[in-house]
Structure 1
Amino acid sequence: MSDAPTLSLPDNASLFTRLRVAIQALKVLEHDPANPTCGQLLNICLDLNVYASLVQQLQRSEEGRRLLSERPSLQGKELDLDALERLPEGTLGHGVARYFRDNKIFPFTTTLELKNDVDFIGKRYRETHDLLHVLTGYGTDVVGEMELQAYALGNLGIRTAVLILLFGTLGQLKDRQSGVALSAYLRRLRAAYRRGRASQQFLGFRFEHHWETPVATLRAQLVAPC
């Protein structure tokens, strides 16, 4: 953990440099899986081109340009979970607060400096992970996490998701701890991937403006049916 703050990705880093930093980040994550800085850094190392493409897409619309300009934050310190939990049951805010309480986890935080729009999009992707659990209905068990990775791969083309799915599937083959047959597991991943491809791209959506909106309404708007 002590090495994590020293890791950084230089501007215009080569593929070799990105792979080297990604491996360093992975070594930290082996001992500290929840490390937010190395988690985000790993995403940026492997998905730099993907995030750059997403930035270009956002720049084509007024709403997207506003998002990149304002760089809103969904970090843990920005979320008042007590206030969100007091919102009516069924709303996004209430659902997100209950998600964190029920799973005994905390919202994503990072100290990684945002030097450009690509860094912001990498941070935004990490911040929206838990919100996607609430919207899609995918669980936080092993299979549910892999389904969400497959969904993100289909929706955004995130390369980090490929790596996570590879290791998750190898673990499924080795341990079978989930209790789900391999054929059913693979069917669920395919369905989640196709659902992600059929859904509205979520990364530019202003979730922070919709805490009082019913989850059912947002799901109908953003997420394709199962």
Structure 2
Amino acid sequence: MATYIMRPPTIRNTFCRITPTVLNCRRSVTTPAYPGHIPLNWTENAFLAVGSGLMALIDPKRADMVAALGETTAGPALPRLRDIMLKSPEGRQILKDRPRINTNTVNMEALARLPEGTFGRSYITWLERTGVTPDTRTPVHYIDDPELAYVMQRYRECHDLYHCITNFPVNVEAELAVKYFEFVNLGLPLAGLSALFGPLRLNAAKRKRLFGEYVPWALKCGSSARCLISVYWEKRWEQNTEELKKELGIWDAPPARWGKPLNEARIVTDQKNLEATKVGQL
């Protein structure tokens, strides 16, 4: 696709019309450092941070805006997380291998055959129970350093594993509880911003439960647990879940409300089937 140079006439109009296409319509200031990289200067980064933050607040389901906000506000958090990874053999191996978590890289059928109680089987059970798929994680675009871009991608793709190991579903209260956990455990500004503004979406009863039960657990458990960015989850599938939690310093969160599964996994599967059908017709 061609790249066009555009300068929005007003900030207000740009916020109203932000789309992935608009985000790509910007002048290039450096050569892309990896596939999909969109270099930003300081002004553009700040503008995108504000715009994506407003859009994410208006519509938290805009995964592209949430992702852009996370990347443009990461600041020194990513170098710090990389340094933490470099201090452990497991973390260094992750940076060397750069594994990815999706249905093309993880054998989901093999995980489903693992014995009950293993982490891999627990992950499959969590995916089925929530209706979530790991195939919807947005690629990183706005982090300049390729290694730091991978650290952000790694965090993004491991987020569901944090839900799984803490036994949380994907409703708003549970998501906020995990964000509080992530903020004290990983220190990413995005998690802090979500924890700060997310409760505004809850009613009084849900806010009371969030701050009365989930937040105290998240702050205490997240701050005392091992930094989860340095866990090579793909090598832990066969480990007993309770033993893994004990090793990482994680304990059970307060019971959460589990609703109906989302349609995320079904929608992605339908899209893949449709694409395969079109290819077969060519």
| TM-score interval, smaller chain | 0.7 to 0.9
Which of 98, 101, 107 lines up with 1:74 in the alignment?
101
* Alignment match, 1:186: 211
Deviations 1:16-70 (A, max 9, x none): 43232234445665668263x5543322211131011111222234433332122
Alignment of 1:103 with 2:110, yes or no, is no
Amino acid at match of 1:164: S
Secondary structure of 2:149's aligned partner: helix
* Alignment match, 1:3: 21
Contact 2:176 2:195 in 1 (8 A): yes
Q: Note the 1:1-226 alignment, pairs <5 A.
A: 2-3=20-21, 6=24, 9-10=38-39, 13-14=41-42, 16-26=43-53, 33=61, 35=63, 38-107=65-134, 108-112=136-140, 116-172=146-202, 175-176=203-204, 179-180=205-206, 182=208, 184-187=209-212, 188-225=214-251
Distance in 1, Cα, partners of 2:184 & 2:79: 17
Moved over 4 A (4+): 26-32
Secondary structure of 2:120's aligned partner: helix
Distance in 1, Cα, partners of 2:51 & 2:86: 32
Distance in 2, Cα, partners of 1:53 & 1:185: 29
In structure 1, list runs of 5 or more residues that go unmatched.
Answer: none
Distance in 2, Cα, partners of 1:215 & 1:44: 31
Contact 2:84 2:230 in 1 (8 A): no
Q: TM-score, normalised by structure 2?
A: 0.68
Secondary structure of 2:230's aligned partner: coil
Contact 1:4 1:28 in 2 (8 A): no
The Cα of 1:131 is off from its aligned counterpart by: 0.6
Greater C-alpha Rg: 2
Change (3 A) 1:208 1:146: same
* Alignment match, 2:275: none
The Cα of 1:199 is off from its aligned counterpart by: 0.5
Distance in 2, Cα, partners of 1:59 & 1:123: 17
Q: TM-score, normalised by structure 1?
A: 0.83
Deviations 1:78-131 (A, max 9, x none): 223232112111111111112111211211433446851110110111111111
Structure 1 stretch displaced more, 39-48 or 214-223: 39-48
Change (3 A) 1:27 1:203: same
Secondary structure of 2:206's aligned partner: coil
In structure 2, list runs of 5 or more residues that go unmatched.
Answer: 1-18, 26-36, 253-282
Change (3 A) 1:154 1:135: same
RMSD across aligned C-alpha pairs, in angstroms?
A: 2.6
